[in-house]
Amino acid sequence: MFGYTKRPLLLIAWKNLKTYPVRIFLTTSSIILGVSVIIAANIFSESNKNAFDNLFSGVFEGIDLVVQPVQEDFAQGFGDDGGQGPISFELKKISDKKINEIKSIDGVKDAWGDVIGFAQFIKFGPRKDCHSFNPECNRETILIQNGFAPTFGAAWDTSPYATQWELIDGNPPTNKQEVVMDSTTAEGNGFLVGDRVTVLAGAIPASFTIVGIAEFANTGSPGGASFALFDFNTAQILLDSVGEVDFINVVVDENADINIVRNAISNIDNQGLEVINAQEAAAEQADSIKQGLDFFNTILNVFAGIAIFVGAFIIQNTFRILLLQRTKELSLLRALGTSKRQVYRLVVSESLYMAIIGSGLGVALGIGLSIVVKEGLKYFDFGLPEGPLVLTPNAAITGIIIGVVVTILSSLLPARKASQVSPLEAIRDSQSTPKRRSLFIRLLIGSLVSLIGLTILFGVLYSFFRTPSLTVLQQVGLGASIIFIGISVITPSITKPFVTIFDKLYKSFFGILGKLATENSKRTPRRTASTASALMIGLTLISLANVLTTSFKAQAEKVVKEVVLADYQVSAAQIFASPGIPTGLSQELIELDEVTDLSRTRATVVGYNNRPLILGAVDKAVFDLIKTDDIAGSREDFYSKDAIGVLKFKAESDDIALNDKVTLTIPEVGKKEFVVRYIFDWTTQPPAEFFLLLDNHEFFSNESLDTELYFNVVTKDEATKNKLDDIIDHYPGVTLRDQDALIDEANSQIQLLLNVIYGFLSISIFVALFGITNTLSLSVYERTREIGLMRAIGTLRKQIRNMVFIESSIISIFGAILGTGLGIFFAWSLIQALEDQGFTEFVVSTQQTIIWIGIAIFAGIIAAIIPAIRASRQNILEAISYE
Amino acid sequence: MEKIIEAKNLTKIYGEDGTSVTALNQVNLDFYENKFTAIMGQSGSGKSTLLHCLAGLDKVTSGSIIVKGLDLGKLNDKELTKIRRDSFGFVFQAFNLIPTLTAEENITLPSSIAGRKPDEEWINQIVNAVDIGDRLNHRPNELSGGQQQRVAAARAMATKPEVIFADEPSGNLDSKSSKELLTFMKSVVTELNQTIVMVTHDPYAASFAERVIMLKDGEVANDMEEPTQEEIISKVTSLSDI
Ligand SMILES: Nc1ncnc2c1ncn2[C@@H]1O[C@H](COP(=O)(O)OP(=O)(O)O)[C@@H](O)[C@H]1O
Ligand SMILES: [Mg+2]
């Protein structure tokens, strides 16, 4: 008996795939990559969320109620991580006497106070900029920070119910010379129990003995933050909380009613204290951080979207290619009586199998990719909180569904085309001739779409057309996207003219091979164009990023040069890490003979109209050291005791005029009235919105930290610099920069961002490469006879390979030039749109542009290696025999 | 008359042991300069195989082919390709021309890939002889079948090769075009001192040649000098009768 299959098409589809593993690989490669980016993006953000969840649930583990002080209204907008950063948030604290009061309440099992603030470990290592064989090289102080995670100091909780921290080695701290270190920091920096370590807490670094190493909720430390844990009294002194605590943790008896206890505690001080449910608070805090992370997630998903978009182009192309190669096989099926519909279903079921295989592999690759990305970011000190990688079933399913749907949709058009092969095709050798008419229609539609995009874009730039409810930037973005779509539609129609421009050049460079290559890419303009488009997307984004960064760099340089008139600036080194510049430094500098003018800048948060506002304080010299513009009033008036200076933008937004009175709520002083004597413009990023003269106000002159220092020197030379360095070296975390260093600094930050973006965008180029390989493979396959003939009449293998390489270079030049052009144009539009915010510089780096076009061409040639070798190895006799 | 190709004990076996086909069996043949030689035989008799081996397009299983003192069997792909490019010309039954190149570019293709300037005067001469002067800027799909084959013939001799190999060059043509092409080929030998080895199964085509070699089952069955068409036909029939 003969076997009978109920579903012959599914079987044929499966057999087809099993017979051609390479075919599966070519088609699925882009699905795999696209899905893997989605998965990696998801794993990445889920893992970060998870790390923060652990952090917050860990913080309140075993605790029922948390008692915290009621903050001034205006301070709440800043969240409750007070004490961080150069601007000191003067948050209210709770008197530690309250702890015993709470303990004595019925139903309270235990209560203990927590003190938390800024502290950072310091280690010593060779300077980054010096080589080990240089004896002059000093050992530099290195501030320890785990990636971008914050650094904390806190009190070691002695209550038996405090279970967050658990010693894994050593003992708890008992006196002011001892500290316990979190295990992430200890492991990362090679510290052991018994080692001495310097800790920067408050303003003065001091030396401690590590008596223990502790783990937080079974991970090294919460979210990778570094923790220096002191005994309670030491923590109060170092973390600026003498006689006070930041909050009080309460554990309630099992059989007591938590709400009754809560009310009882509230009654101690209804005005000053707030009692919250610890578990609810944990969830709330985790949520707010997660929302912040969603931004990062969005960026990753945009990259994933790009990869999938490019992938869809390529899948469609590959299907077309594979089906063309199988025209004979399909027409044979047709001749044997398979209906069009069945052929269509055959092809679609093949794509279904591929989609499933590809998406599955994509998930696997995505896991690998996320590990690589995580490690990569860590390597560049771009670390996010520590924690295990998390792949949620939802993410995996979403990735697979997107992969499958995109693949199947991309296969529909080629499948329809394949189903229309005539049963006679098997015996005929047909040559496809491009349809001119539809290319013309394409040109029309594409131009129309581009025109709409251009109108939207230029409409906002030259203010003749505004789309309602969009910001300037959004409208530019919308216009740019529409232009991009328009250009993508046009590309097939402009392939021929574009390649024709290169005809002469290629012919004179590569002779007849150049001519053959250009003719070949003109022969199938659609295919050439869609292959080039995949590359175009990547290059558009890369050159956009590129031009924006060179322009931003130029902008930064211009601003620094125009605005910083001082010889030197001193600032706290790291954004999260440092509390500011200890005021001792400005004292030492002023006493130096070499230092002439010096201005300190301080800042604090105050309340104004019930909203938080940054109040700054400066010295008179600031006006000679930083460029400011007078708007109204005079500097002399500003120097009087009741005077306040207001920045132009603040004066405009809040309708403040000269001689108006403003009332500020200052935590240390209470309500205080000032008269607006001076309205001015601070031409760089201002450190505050309102300004006072520093020496006029005690609450400012008593501050222990400066935000920034600016000063001039008598002669700016090596000797002076060395003297300055000697002083500054005693202040860890403080950096001295001159104008050039400031420019370098700004540039390197921009560059770091660019490098991360490049990393992601390279993936899209990588995907595009598969497209080029596929297209050229088809191109070579279709020209079996031609290539055979050329070999027969004496074309060397090397020449055949070169011909394929030249053809590939045409595709990549086409994609690269279109992409680069669009990217530069979009960058220009964005900068125009940012003009209001002071952006004036538009700089295209010719060198960078050429390098990237070069990379694209090089990548195109790499992608052509396999088809080129295949072409050159083609059997001559098979090609020329005619039977 | 100078000997240009010398084939000794040529044997060509296709396939593996079990299903092998002996396409050529111990063939010994010499080919001479300035001569129009036709190779005849029934379909499957080994004509094309012989031509491919002689032209360095295929490797022989055993035996040797000496072209102007060089043993083709000892050359690598690059050297063989250069010999085909510089010393041989080719006309095939179909697919002779690159569709994206004009007639002129097709004719000069072998010089172009060799990176040499074509000999203008010589090319003018052959272009006139094949009568395609007015079609030089046309692409193959704008030419008739006969014109295409004549362009192919012009290309085959554009580099003044030692030998022109043609495999059924008139196989796809009507009788008028066929006659024009063959007349041209003959005139090339007599007037322009070229050498042609042509495979055909058509006695009429073979009658243009000065020497006709008949193959049967991969062996030389007959070798005739200056036969008439009638002689060829009778030989063909007598061979197929056996
Ligand atoms: N590539 C090949 N593989 C196997 N057998 C072949 C191949 N080419 C030719 N043959 C066989 O070799 C014999 C001679 O073929 P061929 O030289 O093409 O004959 P002709 O040109 O005289 O028709 C035939 O039996 C043919 O089937
Ligand atoms: Mg034959």
Q: Which ligand is nearest to the CA of B46?
A: 1
Say how far apart CA A666 and CA B51 lie, in whole Å. Answer: 103
Residue A108 and residue A236 in one domain = yes
The three-state secondary structure class of A101 is helix
Residue, of A761 and A772, whose pLDDT is higher: A772
Residue A109 and residue A242 in one domain = yes
Least confident of A505-509, A762-766, A782-786, B130-134: A762-766
**Nearest residue by C-alpha to atom 18 in ligand 1:** B48
Instruction: Kindly list the residues from chain A whose CB atom is less than 8 angstroms away from the CB atom of residue B78.
Output: 796-797
Q: How many domains does chain B have?
A: 1
Reply yes or no on whether the pLDDT at B126 is more than 50: yes
Q: pLDDT at position A607, please?
A: 80
Reply yes or no on whether the pLDDT at A75 is more than 60: no
Q: How many domains does chain A have?
A: 4
Angle at A810 between CA A807 and CA A816, to 5 degrees: 145
Q: pLDDT at position A7, please?
A: 63
Q: Which ligand is nearest to the CA of B22?
A: 1
Confidence of residue B95 (pLDDT cuts 50, 70, 90): confident
From the number of C-beta atoms within 10 Å of its C-beta (0-12, 13-18, 19+), residue B90 rates as: buried
Say how far apart CA A532 and CA B199 lie, in whole Å. Answer: 46
A880 touching B (Cβ < 8 Å): yes
**Mean predicted confidence (pLDDT) in A689-700:** 86
**Mean predicted confidence (pLDDT) in A437-462:** 88
Reply yes or no on whether the pLDDT at A627 is more than 50: yes
| Residues B130 and B205 sit within 8 Å (Cβ to Cβ) | no
Q: pLDDT at position B148, please?
A: 93
Distance B197 CA to ligand 2 centre (A): 14
Say how far apart CA A30 and CA A24 lie, in whole Å. Answer: 11
Q: Is residue A77 part of a domain?
A: no
Do the bridges between strand B219-225 and strand B211-216 make them parallel or antiparallel, or are there none, so unpaired? antiparallel
Where are any strands of DSSP class E within chain B?
A: 3-14, 21-32, 36-41, 62-67, 70-71, 88-91, 163-167, 196-199, 211-216, 219-225
Contacts of A664 (CB under 8 A, 6+ apart): A606, A607, A608, A613, A615, A671, A672, A674, A690
Reply yes or no on whether the pLDDT at A326 is more than 80: no
Reply yes or no on whether the pLDDT at B157 is more than 60: yes
**Mean predicted confidence (pLDDT) in A755-783:** 78
Reply yes or no on whether the pLDDT at A601 is more than 80: yes
Q: pLDDT at position A285, please?
A: 67
Say how far apart CA B4 and CA B2 lie, in whole Å. Answer: 6
Report the length, in residues, of chain A: 883
Most confident residue range from A145-149, A418-422, A474-478, A678-682: A678-682
Per the prediction, chain B carries an average pLDDT of 90
Query: Which residue, chain included where needed, has tokens 């031609």?
Result: A786
Name the residue among A315, A402, A412 with its Cα closest to residue A359.
A402
Rounded to two decimals, the ipTM of the complex is 0.93
Point out the domain boundary residue: A737, A772, A802.
Answer: A737
Instruction: Name the DSSP letter for residue B198.
Output: E
Residue A173 and residue A276 in one domain = no
> Which tokens in the block code for residue A46?
């889920």
The shortest C-alpha distance from B48 to chain A (Å) reads: 9
Q: pLDDT at position A613, please?
A: 79
Residue A198 and residue A286 in one domain = no
Q: pLDDT at position A84, please?
A: 37
Pocket of ligand 1 (CB under 6 A): B 14-15, 21, 23, 41, 43-49
CB contact under 8 A, B98 and A793: no
Residue, of A188 and A12, whose pLDDT is higher: A188
- The minimal CB distance from A793 to the residues B52, B90, B94 is found for B90
Say how far apart CA A353 and CA A843 lie, in whole Å. Answer: 49
* pLDDT tens per residue across span A344-379: 888 888 888 888 888 888 888 888 888 887 777 666
Residue A731 and residue A757 in one domain = no
Reply yes or no on whether the pLDDT at A621 is more than 80: yes
Residue A37 and residue A49 in one domain = yes
**Mean predicted confidence (pLDDT) in B142-151:** 91
Least confident of A278-282, A814-818, A823-827, B4-8: A278-282
| Residues A351 and A407 sit within 8 Å (Cβ to Cβ) | yes
| Residues A612 and A77 sit within 8 Å (Cβ to Cβ) | yes
CB contact under 8 A, A515 and B105: yes
Most confident residue range from A33-37, A135-139, A269-273, A857-861: A857-861
Least confident of A54-68, A163-177, A308-322, A379-393: A379-393
Name the residue among B199, B198, B188, B131 with its Cα closest to residue B160.
B188
Q: pLDDT at position A144, please?
A: 81
Instruction: Name the DSSP letter for residue A621.
Output: T
Residue, of A757 and A772, whose pLDDT is higher: A772
Say how far apart CA A585 and CA A554 lie, in whole Å. Answer: 32
Contacts of A859 (CB under 8 A, 6+ apart): A535, A765, A768, A769, A812
Confidence of residue B29 (pLDDT cuts 50, 70, 90): very high
CB contact under 8 A, B113 and A796: yes
Confidence of residue B226 (pLDDT cuts 50, 70, 90): confident
Q: Which ligand is nearest to the CA of B41?
A: 1
Instruction: Kindly list the residues from chain A whose CB atom is less than 8 angstroms away from the CB atom of residue B94.
Output: 882
Q: pLDDT at position A223, please?
A: 65
Distance A880 CA to ligand 1 centre (A): 13
Confidence of residue A467 (pLDDT cuts 50, 70, 90): confident
Q: pLDDT at position A143, please?
A: 76
Question: SS3 sequence, chain B?
Answer: CCEEEEEEEEEEEECCCCCCEEEEEEEEEEEECCCEEEEEECCCCCHHHHHHHHCCCCCCCEEEEEECCEEHHHCCHHHHHHHHHHHEEEECCCCCCCCCCCHHHHHCHHHHHHCCCCCHHHHHHHHHHHCCHHHCCCCHHHCCHHHHHHHHHHHHHHCCCCEEEEECCCCCCCHHHHHHHHHHHHHHHHHHCCCEEEECCCHHHHCCCCEEEEEECCEEEEEEECCCHHHHHHHHHHHHHC
**Nearest residue by C-alpha to atom 2 in ligand 1:** B14
Least confident of A309-323, A627-641, A691-705, B188-202: A309-323
Say how far apart CA A245 and CA A225 lie, in whole Å. Answer: 21
Q: Is residue A485 part of a domain?
A: no
Q: pLDDT at position A19, please?
A: 66
Confidence of residue A77 (pLDDT cuts 50, 70, 90): very low
Say how far apart CA A536 and CA A492 lie, in whole Å. Answer: 13
Most confident residue range from A86-90, A318-322, A874-878: A874-878
Q: pLDDT at position A46, please?
A: 77
Do the bridges between strand A273-277 and strand A196-201 make them parallel or antiparallel, or are there none, so unpaired? unpaired
Distance B41 CA to ligand 2 centre (A): 9
B117 touching A (Cβ < 8 Å): no
Which of B81, B87, B155, B201 is the best substitution to test chain A (most A C-beta atoms within 10 A)? B81
CB contact under 8 A, B113 and A790: yes
Q: pLDDT at position A383, please?
A: 44
Reply yes or no on whether the pLDDT at A700 is more than 70: yes
The three-state secondary structure class of A582 is strand
Residue, of A346 and B153, whose pLDDT is higher: B153
Q: pLDDT at position A436, please?
A: 52
**Mean predicted confidence (pLDDT) in A49-72:** 74
Q: pLDDT at position A6, please?
A: 57
Residue A782 and residue A843 in one domain = yes
The shortest C-alpha distance from B1 to chain A (Å) reads: 27
* pLDDT tens per residue across span A170-206: 999 999 899 999 988 888 888 999 988 888 876 567 8
Say how far apart CA A176 and CA A338 lie, in whole Å. Answer: 88
Question: SS3 sequence, A636-662?
Answer: HHHCCCCEEEEEHHHHHHCCCCCCCEE
Reply yes or no on whether the pLDDT at A591 is more than 50: yes
Question: What percent of chain A shows pLDDT beyond 90?
Answer: 15
CB pairs under 8 A between A and B: 75
Q: pLDDT at position A575, please?
A: 45
Domain residues for B86? 3-241
> Which tokens in the block code for residue A877?
């006799």
Reply yes or no on whether the pLDDT at B47 is more than 90: yes
Tell which one of B25, B49, B51, B198 to mutate to probe ligand 1, the residue whose CB is within 8 A of the most ligand atoms.
B49
Residue A43 and residue A113 in one domain = no
Least confident of A264-278, A282-296, B156-170: A282-296
Distance B212 CA to ligand 1 centre (A): 20
Say how far apart CA A643 and CA A650 lie, in whole Å. Answer: 16
Residue A593 and residue A644 in one domain = yes
Q: pLDDT at position B108, please?
A: 93
Q: pLDDT at position A315, please?
A: 77
Nearest residue of B to residue A521, measured between CA atoms: B100
B216 touching A (Cβ < 8 Å): no
The three-state secondary structure class of A331 is helix
Residue, of B84 and A123, whose pLDDT is higher: B84
Q: pLDDT at position A21, please?
A: 67
Tell which one of B10, B11, B14 to mutate to probe ligand 1, the residue whose CB is within 8 A of the most ligand atoms.
B14
The shortest C-alpha distance from A318 to chain B (Å) reads: 24
Per the prediction, chain A carries an average pLDDT of 81
Q: Is residue A442 part of a domain?
A: no
| Residues A382 and A374 sit within 8 Å (Cβ to Cβ) | no
* pLDDT tens per residue across span A120-162: 888 776 555 555 444 444 556 677 877 666 788 899 988 888 8
Query: Radius of gyration of chain B from Cα atoms?
Result: 18
* pLDDT tens per residue across span A856-877: 999 999 999 999 998 998 888 8
Say how far apart CA A594 and CA A568 lie, in whole Å. Answer: 12
**Mean predicted confidence (pLDDT) in A52-71:** 76
**Mean predicted confidence (pLDDT) in A323-343:** 78
Distances in Å between the alpha carbon of A465 and those of A451, A472, A839?
13, 11, 22
Instruction: Kindly list the residues from chain B whose CB atom is less than 8 angstroms away from the CB atom of residue A785.
Output: 95
The three-state secondary structure class of A135 is coil
**CATH number of the domain encompassing residue B162:** 3.40.50.300
Reply yes or no on whether the pLDDT at B186 is more than 70: yes
Q: pLDDT at position B182, please?
A: 93
B78 touching A (Cβ < 8 Å): yes
Q: pLDDT at position A89, please?
A: 46
The shortest C-alpha distance from A771 to chain B (Å) reads: 24
**Nearest residue by C-alpha to atom 16 in ligand 1:** B46
Angle at A854 between CA A487 and CA A869, to 5 degrees: 95
Q: Is residue A75 part of a domain?
A: no
What pTM was computed for the model?
A: 0.70
Q: Which ligand is nearest to the CA of B45?
A: 1
Question: What percent of chain A shows pLDDT beyond 70?
Answer: 84
Domain residues for A124? 94-263
Q: pLDDT at position B26, please?
A: 92
CB contact under 8 A, B78 and A796: yes
Q: pLDDT at position A429, please?
A: 46
| Residues A35 and A363 sit within 8 Å (Cβ to Cβ) | yes
Q: pLDDT at position A431, please?
A: 45
